[in-house]
Amino acid sequence: MKPSNPGVLVGLVVVFALATWGVLQELYSQIPTVPWTAIPTLLILAVGEGYTGWLTRARILRKPDTKPVEPLAVARLAALAKATAYAGAVFGGIFAGFVLHVLNLLDLPKPRQDAIVAGGSFVACVALICAALFLEYCCRVPGKPEDEE
């Protein structure tokens, strides 16, 4: 499995932001407000993935007081990290599309609330993507030290 390409993730954010912006041009008045619950949910997931990456890296490097990690568990964590990075990019693009749509409507209460919640959700998605990329990095097998041949 190859590492996630940050360029592809940015491309997903841009494509989904533009698609969401286009859809909202016609449907914004018919949909409910953006739920605020996405922000803490995404942040909890980001913290969990970051912490898992930190623990996994310590176990892979066989730091003192850690148990060796099963290779299959590392493969599953790497797959989780890759899936989370892509899902975070898609949802980040959707929230960015909301922000783009309501930028010129900030004097109204509902669009202002949507801008704040969608902006916070976008930032939480970026944190989740970063945590997923960190977990993916932590699942790599370390190379041989330079002094060994």
Predicted pLDDT at 145: 60
DSSP state of 1: -
pTM of the model: 0.90
Write a three-state SS string for 58-108. HHHCCCCCCCCCCHHHHHHHHHHHHHHHHHHHHHHHHHHHHHHHHHHHCCC
Distance CA 114, CA 120 (A): 10
Summarised one tens digit per residue, pLDDT across range 37-72 is: 999 999 999 999 999 999 999 999 888 888 988 999
Residue of 34, 53, 42, 23 lying closest to 134 (CA atoms): 53
Residue 148 has pLDDT above 60, yes or no: no
Residue pair 24/98 in contact (Cβ under 8 Å)? The answer is yes
Predicted pLDDT at 2: 87
